[in-house]
Structure 1
Amino acid sequence: MTTTRTPVVFIHGLWLHATAWQPWIDLFEREGFAPVAPGWPNEATTIEAARNNPQAVADIGIDQVVDHYAAIIAGLDAAPVIIGHSFGGLITQKLLGQGYGIAGVAIDPAQIKGVKPLPFAQLRSGLPALGNPANKRRAVSLTADQFRYGFGNAVSRQESDDLFDRYTIPSPARPLFEAAFANFTKSSPAQVDTANNTRGPLLLVSGQEDHTVPDVVTRAAFKLYGDSTARTDLKQYADRGHSLTIDSGWRQVADHTLDWLAARGVRSTTTASESR
């Protein structure tokens, strides 16, 4: 009987490059997992290249991103843990609900269909994309000030600017429009199977100072899972914003994620009989 390291698939959200997960990858590798952080469809492998060709990712929507990661997961040696931030958290929930993965962690996840609260801070954070309907088919970049409000409001201005310079890239605006109008769309790509009783355990993580995905939005998503018998947990951080996966406090969130996985019986290695 062969033993395989349990894969972990990290999925980033809008305006961050896949390489923003590197500290997490290094940590999970040390813990014995087999982590990967593939970019979104058409995302360049370097931040510089992504910034130099923003329209490569224009008009990419939620369903395309889900299909992209589903294909990646299908090619792995074993079923993975899926960990996503922001829109990556929404993608994580969709994949887990569709039967992909043995467990999921959705950190400050973008709103799914059925979530009704729409705080002003969230509207303001989405304004760089949602403020112009023509942006739906475009790629949009943030300014340092916009990043400061949406991501870095709970850290110092210096740290926010450093994170902006280090990790930000242009991103498609389409997912924001799809999520914003999900409750008015019959077959919305932001729909998640929250009633699935056979999926793996799910952890929702919320930064209570988050402007982009306010805590009330994550709590509303958590309540939507109330009819499922599958395990769903919520972890809240009182003093954290949307940058909680990449700022100086990232390790606190990562360590809790590892502890939660261990408590749910998710090991860093799996036998061949458990791999699918």
Structure 2
Amino acid sequence: MSTSKPVVFIHGLWIHSDSWRNWLDLFRKAGYDPIAPGWPGDSDTAAATRRNATAVANRGINEITASYQSVIDGLDTKPIVIGHSFGGLIAQKLLAGGDASAAVAIDPGQIKGVKPVPLAQIRSGLPVLSRPGNKKKAVALTKKQFRYGFGNAIPQSESDELFERWTIPGPGKPLFEASTANFSKTSPAAVDTTNGDRGPLLIIGGGKDHTVPEVVAKAAYKLYAGSSATTDYQAFPDRGHSLVFDHGWRDIADFTLAWLSRQGL
């Protein structure tokens, strides 16, 4: 039985869980017991997931969240959850629901109650949202779309290399669910932001992010104003949506480790 604190990393839409590889190594060296399970239908590698794209189709926020709850149920103690993009939305749901001891939501997908919808975010979501039929399908980004949505703050060559290494088709359903959350009483993108009994939460925003512009991350943070639980916010002004797996990943990871240390975790 491991005595190290478990950490569950949750990837976002269009990116394979292997993209957390550097974080896993760093957290293991820091004394944690980290894992990075994929979403339902993901294969073991990005290449294999691309070859079996239909396996990830029509998976929604609730099903993805339930898959991580199942992983957590197999652990000896409640983990820290760290999520990027839609993984950040799921991390918030897990924390609010009592499944995690703490959460870090990095450029988190839009939860219910967030009102800003910047043009950059609309453009980033168009590969999915432009066709209603995509709700039940798996959709892959083109290299150009990845460059706009993820790699706009890094060199073109690096963006292209990350695209080849980590991108996978993603289910369209979560994006449709998040985009209509404020019009649904039972939206799966809803999070109990008033819960004062949960563990600490850190929300991180990227100032140059097109997929989840910083104003969206900041709006999510403000929704927690009614909670007595610890909720912190940190912006990285020069970072885009690739911030957790591009050349500057260590800046985000080191800040996260320092924040966890301040929480006694």
TM-score (norm 2): 0.99
Map of 2:106 onto structure 1: 107
SS at match of 1:5: coil
Q: Partners of 1:98 and 1:185 in 2: how far apart?
A: 20
Q: Please give the alpha-carbon distance, in whole angstroms, between the structure 2 residues aligned to 1:47 and 1:134.
A: 24
Q: 1:48 Cα shift?
A: 1.3
Cα drift, residue 3 of structure 1: 7.2
The one-letter code sitting in structure 1 at the alignment partner of 2:185 is K
Corresponding residue for residue 50 of structure 2:
51
The question of 1:196 aligning with 2:158 is answered: no
Aligned residue type for 2:115? K
Partners of 1:179 and 1:19 lie apart in 2 by 25
Secondary structure (helix, strand or coil) at the match of 2:3 reads: strand
- Indicate the residue corresponding to 1:60 in structure 2: 59
Instruction: Specify the SS of the correspondent of 1:4.
Output: coil
Helix, strand or coil: the match of 1:8? strand
Change (3 A) 1:155 1:3: closer
Q: Which residue in 2 is equivalent to 1:13?
A: 12
Structure 2 counterpart SS, 1:153: coil
Provide the rounded CA distance (Å) in 2 between the counterparts of 1:20 and 1:148. 17
Gaps of 5+ in 1: 267-276
Partners of 1:112 and 1:78 lie apart in 2 by: 27
> Is the 1:4–1:78 Cα contact (8 Å) retained in structure 2?
no
The structure whose RCO (Cα within 8 Å, separation 6+) is larger is: 1
Report how far residue 68 of structure 1 moved. 0.5
Alpha-carbon separation, structure 1, partners of 2:99 and 2:147? 34
Partner of 2:246: 247
Matches within 5 A, 1:173-184: 173-184=172-183
Name the CA distance, whole Å, in 2 between partners of 1:109 and 1:94. Answer: 11
What's the CA shift string for 1:123-180, capped at 9, x where partnerless?
0000000010000000000000000000000000000000000100001000000000
Equivalences for residues 107-186 of structure 1 within 5 A? 107-186=106-185
Output the aligned Cα RMSD.
Answer: 0.8
CA drift at 1:100: 1.1
Q: What is the deviation of 1:242? A: 0.2
> Per-residue deviation at 1:78?
1.5
| Mapping 1:72-87, distance limit 5 Å | 72-87=71-86
| Structure 1 contact 80–102 (Cα < 8 Å) conserved | yes
Inter-partner Cα distance in structure 2 for 1:93 and 1:61: 16
Counterpart-to-counterpart distance in 2, 1:255 and 1:31: 10
For 2:91, the equivalent position in structure 1 comes to: 92
Aligned to 1:231: 230
Residue of structure 2 in register with 1:270 after alignment: none
Q: Deviations over 1:165-209 (max 9, x none)?
A: 010000100000000000001100000010000000000000010
Q: Deviations over 1:9-60 (max 9, x none)?
A: 0000000001000000000000110000000011111111100011100000
Shift of 1:4: 1.1
| Ranges of 4+ aligned residues in structure 1 off by more than 6 Å | none
Q: Mind listing any 5+ residue stretches in structure 2 that lack a counterpart?
A: none
Structure 1 residues 77 and 112: alpha-carbon distance in aligned structure 2, compared to 1, 3 A threshold: same
Separation of aligned partners in 2, 1:78 and 1:42: 26
Q: After superposition, what is the alpha-carbon deviation per residue over 1:55-97, rounded to whole angstroms, capped at 9, x for unaligned?
A: 1000000000111001100110121100000000000000000
Q: Give the direction of change, closer, same or farther, for the CA distance of 1:137–1:29 in structure 2 (3 Å limit).
A: same
1: distance between equivalents of 2:147 and 2:47?
21
CA distance in 1, matches of 2:76, 2:98: 16
Match of 1:271 in 2: none
Count residues with an aligned counterpart.
Answer: 265
- C-alpha deviations, 1:104-134, integer Å up to 9, x for none? 0000000000000000000000000001000
What is the rounded CA distance, in whole Å, between the counterparts of 1:205 and 1:220 in structure 2? 12
